[in-house]
Amino acid sequence: MPLLPRRFERIKSVLNRRMSNLTLLIEEVEKPHNLSAILRTCDAIGILETHIISKQNKTPTFNNTAQGSQKWVRLKQHKSISEAIKSLKQMGFKLYGTNLQENAKDYRLLDYTKATAFVIGAEKWGLSQEAKELVDESIYIPMRGMVQSLNVSVATAILLSEALKQRDKEGKTPQSGEGLTKDLYKQTLFEWSYPEVANWCKKEGRNYPELGTNGEILESLPRTIKFHC
Ligand code: SAM
């Protein structure tokens, strides 16, 4: 079945607003409802990719709270917090670690309009000592009540909303695909439009086929894979 032009337009309009320079590094957040709520917020804000470290490299799981957002926000799993932080720094991200205890700054006082990664900690323990030492800045959301911290997905939503607000104010939220490189846009457009064909291409080690203006695949594919189009 070819992709419906309406579906293709919808995919493009969402991709046009995706940002590759705003992300999360999630350290050992394990509960499916929290991870799901976080990814759903990422989708709503326009985040392309998030990063995660799970206990014993367990595959993250989601529930209905995600509403399928895990299909639209890439989740890159890292082996260790130090490797993840190093690779994000190499990509040009500034890392803002959430830290409720020591020398942290009120999150509203910092600038998130450039490449920004918020580092989010585990439900019970927060960030590891190693993460706290490796981040560029420590931030907190002021608490005025009896309880010491927010639910992790709520805290994440507050931080991402602040970044989006600052970027909106400076006219830095993408509207027409400028939040991604041309290659990344083209690659993601194909993966979102034809996930099964994209997986098949990866297995075969071949490039994705070109797409026409209505999202049609402009190449003849083997019969078996055509069923997934
Ligand atoms: N006892 C833990 C601590 O001291 O960090 C509390 C962990 S909290 C429930 C889980 C995660 O939610 C934190 O690591 C942080 O990422 C985020 N979080 C919760 N409340 C926050 C706040 N007021 N400011 C910043 N981040 C917060």
Mutation choice for ligand 1 from 29, 98, 129, CB with most ligand atoms inside 8 A: 98
Rg (CA), the chain: 19
In the predicted structure, residue 229 carries a pLDDT above the cut 60: no
User: Is 41's C-beta closer than 6 angstroms to any atom of ligand 1?
Assistant: no
Whole-number pLDDT of residue 173: 98
Q: Which CATH code for domain 19-169?
A: 3.40.1280.10
Of 58 and 155, more confident: 155
Whole-number pLDDT of residue 205: 95
- Asked whether 167 and 113 are in contact (CB, 8 A), the reply is yes
User: What is the Å distance from ligand 1's center to 219 Cα?
Assistant: 50
Whole-number pLDDT of residue 226: 61
In the predicted structure, residue 56 carries a pLDDT above the cut 90: no
Q: Left if phi > 0, otherwise alpha if psi is -120 to 50, otherwise beta: which for 227?
A: alpha
User: Is 155's C-beta closer than 6 angstroms to any atom of ligand 1?
Assistant: yes
The 3-state DSSP composition of the chain as helix, strand, coil percent (nearest 5) reads 40, 15, 40
Q: What residue spans define the domains of the chain?
A: 1-18+177-229, 19-169
- Average pLDDT of the chain is 94
Find where tokens 């585990």 sit.
122
Give the CA distances from residue 183 to residues 144, 145, 166, 186, 219, in Å, rounded to whole numbers and listed in that order: 46, 47, 27, 5, 19
User: Is 215's C-beta closer than 6 angstroms to any atom of ligand 1?
Assistant: no
Whole-number pLDDT of residue 151: 98
pLDDT tens figures, 109-149 = 999 999 999 999 999 999 999 999 999 999 999 999 999 99
Greatest CA separation for the chain: 63
Whole-number pLDDT of residue 78: 96
* Nearest partner of 82 among 119, 48, 47, judged by Cα: 119
pTM, to two decimals: 0.95
User: Is 162's C-beta closer than 6 angstroms to any atom of ligand 1?
Assistant: no
Mutation choice for ligand 1 from 53, 149, 160, 161, CB with most ligand atoms inside 8 A: 149
Task: Give 118's strand partners.
Answer: 24, 96
Whole-number pLDDT of residue 1: 58
